């Protein structure tokens, strides 16, 4: 992902055209009182994020570990990290 440009909400109001054009090239983060409030991205990127989130939500199942049986908890505890995970931890 390209580096995000960060501007204040006041600066965005003064130069909206400039920053809306910039958001087509890279994300533009907008701050208020020093805190990031939102990020401007192209509509295509937003649509892609919404589609991915919707698809992900359909596959997701949430629950509490206390509701799992002993066999499932044991299987989770026995999982070993893959080689890629081990290499990533070293970096």
How is the chain split into domains, by residue range? 5-79
Q: What is the pTM of this model?
A: 0.58
**pLDDT digit string (tens) for 27-66?**
999 999 999 999 999 999 999 888 887 776 666 667 788 8
Distance, CA of 40 to CA of 11 (rounded, Å): 14
Distance, CA of 3 to CA of 55 (rounded, Å): 27
CATH 3.40.1780.10 fits 5-79, yes or no: no
Backbone torsions φ then ψ of 82, nearest 5 degrees: -75, 170
Backbone torsions φ then ψ of 32, nearest 5 degrees: -145, 130
Residue 51: its H or E element: helix 43-59
Looking at residue 60, its pLDDT comes to: 60
């Amino acid at each position: 992902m390209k580096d995000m440009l960060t501007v204040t909400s006041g600066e965005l109001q003064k130069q909206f055209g400039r920053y809306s054009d910039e958001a087509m090239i890279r994300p533009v983060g907008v701050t208020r009182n020093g805190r990031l409030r939102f990020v401007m991205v192209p509509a295509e990127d937003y649509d892609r994020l919404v589609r991915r989130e919707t698809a992900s939500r359909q596959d997701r199942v949430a629950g509490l570990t206390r509701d799992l049986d002993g066999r499932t908890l044991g299987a989770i505890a026995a999982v070993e990290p893959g080689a890629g995970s081990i290499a990533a931890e070293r970096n």
